[in-house]
Amino acid sequence: MMVLVTVIPLTIMAVINNYEYQKSIKSEIVNPMRSMVNKTKHSFEIFLEERLSIVRFIASSYSFQDLSDRKTFNRMFTVLMNEYCCFVDLGLIDVKGIQLSYSGPYALLGRDYSEQSWFQEVVVRGVYISDVFMGYREFPHIAIAVQRRTEDGRTWILRATLDTSRFINLIAAMGLEPESDAFLINRAGILQTPSRFYGKVLDRCPFSFPLGSYATQIVEKTDPQGREIVMAYAPFLKTDYALVLVKPRSVVLKSWYTLKSEMFFIFIASVVVIILVVFKLTDLLVKRAQEADEKRESAFRELEHSQKLSSIGRLAAGVAHEVNNPLAIINEKAGLINDLIQYQADIKEKTKFLGLTNSILQSVERCKTITHRLLGFARRMEVQLEVLDLNELIQEVLGFLEKEALYRNVDISLHLKDDLPKIDSDRGQLQQVFLNIMSNAISAMKDSGRITITSWEENLDSVAVSIQDTGCGMSPETLRHIFEPFFTTKEKGYGTGLGLPITYGIVKKMGGEIKVQSTEGKGTTFTIYLLKKPKTDAGK
């Protein structure tokens, strides 16, 4: 869902941007093509208009008699050749179509043009600019003809021929790429200039062009060679010519393709990054949710355990008080009987009775110890704080267990931090904590094994002690119940199930924490964290 929420808007934005950028860039690319075509077309029109104006000027400035004079006509053509380019010849034609005067490299004097289509057109329109044609001269040229009518009714035509080299030069001035092409065509689609790819002069162009419009048009199509091209078509206003510019689509849209590739790469990279971040974030959220659930479950179990301890503690306190009263009576009566037996000399089997009363007193003392522990479990005993060296206390507790460890062939290894800070705590209750855990560790190893005790400074506020054994370990199911009162894994008659619950209660009462790690068949590690200075309400 997160991927869709992020990728779908990005995709929509990419599609919209792709369309808008393509539209904008095409406009920016096509506009220069249109501008180039229009400028070159304007140059063509200026060239033709200048040549037409020159012919008109001559026809208006000179009379028929002047133009009929051969010397004057030749001199005028010579000046025309020297001052203006591209003129091939010049001729004077009468109303019947007969060429009366001619100046140029060909023998065309007396030639009859009355049947030519251009002659009929110039008679009707007064001005004529031809398409490119071969004619009598056998090379591509165009003709410009102007009709002149005097006040006395005399009519004649002045006709000039131009070569098309200027056309080629104007197209060359466009500076096209090798893959591009430009050429002139007439309305019939005949090439007026040579083309790089589509034929020679007077060949038919393989394209069809829109007719009836004088606006420059940009179209995309496929040429006969199978290339995708962009073509600009610009018709002339006063002649039947049109300028055509052809560029391969790949050249025209090269910048767009580059931008498109970059946009596509950025889009793909963004999608990949989004997917990676989303999956990473989702995984992190799931793990945090899992950790939160585990912590909640652990807190719930701890609360449940605390409630059990509290309930059993209240029960134990009541039992301890109820038991202590008859125990006190039994202790007093047994002591009195013991005193009476000692001071009576004539009692038979005095030694036997003294042994029995001593057994009663010892049993009472043992019951006192049990009730004392029950009261401690019920948190009815006050904590007496004093400054303790934790390493010294651990070694002191080990002194009570050395014989049992030696008997069971258990090796005890100490890794105690030398400069471990001293703590404020209750010596007796900490002795009970370590004695319970170390006794359980020794009991977990029947034949032989190893116990490793390590102490260190956890942080500025607390120290820690770990007790690791190589015993039988515990299953996950057992681990969940070890701090519950009266739960024991020892054989019947050898454990009360109160050792670890009491240990847990003492550590919690001092503001500390106890953690257990165990692997069945490999051993168990108890870690006790103790505050250097317990909170003020720790002993309450």
pLDDT, average across residues 455-478: 88
- The confidence score (pLDDT) of residue 538 equals 45
Q: How confident is the model at residue 491 (pLDDT cuts 50, 70, 90)?
A: low
Helix residue ranges per DSSP H, 380-468: 390-407, 427-443
Q: Coil, helix or strand for 133?
A: strand
Please determine, for residue 206, whether its predicted confidence score (pLDDT) is greater than 80: yes
Q: Coil, helix or strand for 526?
A: strand
Beta bridge partners of 487: none
Which range scores top for mean pLDDT: 160-169, 203-212, 429-438, 492-501? 160-169
| Number of other CB atoms surrounding residue 45 within 10 Å | 16
Residue with more model confidence, 338 or 38: 38
**What φ, ψ does residue 486 adopt, rounded to 5°?**
70, 10
Q: How confident is the model at residue 162 (pLDDT cuts 50, 70, 90)?
A: very high
**What φ, ψ does residue 422 adopt, rounded to 5°?**
-75, 155
Lowest-confidence region among 46-55, 158-167, 437-446, 520-529: 437-446
Q: How far apart are CA 51 and CA 145, in angstroms?
A: 10
- The confidence score (pLDDT) of residue 13 equals 83
Q: How far apart are CA 497 and CA 377, in angstroms?
A: 12
Q: How far apart are CA 42 and CA 38, in angstroms?
A: 6
Written as six digits, the tokens of 359 are: 């057994």
**Torsion of the alpha carbons at 33, 37, 43 and 48, rounded to the nearest 10:** 180
Query: 121 — alpha (psi -120 to 50), left (phi > 0) or beta?
Result: alpha
Q: How confident is the model at residue 307 (pLDDT cuts 50, 70, 90)?
A: low
Q: Coil, helix or strand for 89?
A: strand
Cβ neighbourhood burial of 111 (10 Å; 0-12, 13-18, 19+):
middle
- The confidence score (pLDDT) of residue 493 equals 46
Residue 403: CB partners within 8 Å, gap ≥ 6?
Answer: none
Q: Would you tell me the crossing angle of helices 499-509 and 427-443 to the nearest 10 degrees?
A: 140
Q: Which helix (H) or strand (E) holds 527?
A: strand 523-531
pLDDT, average across residues 1-17: 83
Please determine, for residue 220, whether its predicted confidence score (pLDDT) is greater than 90: no
Q: How far apart are CA 260 and CA 265, in angstroms?
A: 8
- The confidence score (pLDDT) of residue 489 equals 67
Length reported for the chain: 540
Q: Which helix (H) or strand (E) holds 485?
A: none
Lowest-confidence region among 282-291, 322-331, 529-538: 529-538
Q: How confident is the model at residue 160 (pLDDT cuts 50, 70, 90)?
A: very high
Query: What percentage of the chain exceeds 70 in pLDDT?
Result: 87
Q: How far apart are CA 44 and CA 171, in angstroms?
A: 9
- Secondary-structure percent of the chain, ordered helix, strand, coil, rounded to 5: 50, 20, 30
Q: How far is CA 534 from CA 117, 297, 308, 376, in A?
A: 122, 27, 24, 18
pLDDT, average across residues 200-219: 82
Q: How confident is the model at residue 308 (pLDDT cuts 50, 70, 90)?
A: low
Segment 112-122, tens digit of pLDDT: 888 888 888 89
Segment 398-426, tens digit of pLDDT: 887 888 888 888 888 999 998 899 998 88
pLDDT, average across residues 507-522: 87
**Do residues 162 and 141 make contact, with C-beta atoms less than 8 angstroms apart?**
yes
pLDDT, average across residues 171-184: 90
Helix residue ranges per DSSP H, 62-96: 64-68, 70-83
- The confidence score (pLDDT) of residue 397 equals 84
- The confidence score (pLDDT) of residue 38 equals 92
Q: Would you tell me the crossing angle of helices 165-172 and 2-61 to the nearest 10 degrees?
A: 150
Q: How confident is the model at residue 195 (pLDDT cuts 50, 70, 90)?
A: very high
Residue type, 439: S
- The confidence score (pLDDT) of residue 48 equals 92
Q: Would you tell me the crossing angle of helices 350-377 and 254-343 to the nearest 10 degrees?
A: 150
Nearest to 159 by CA among 212, 94, 209, 211: 94
- The confidence score (pLDDT) of residue 380 equals 42
Q: How confident is the model at residue 496 (pLDDT cuts 50, 70, 90)?
A: low
The rounded mean pLDDT for the chain is 83
| DSSP letters spanning 212-272 | S--S-EEEEEE-TTS-EEEEEEEE-SSSSEEEEEEEEHHHHTHHHHHHHHHHHHHHHHHHH
Segment 14-69, tens digit of pLDDT: 888 777 776 766 666 778 888 899 999 999 999 999 999 999 999 888 888 888 88
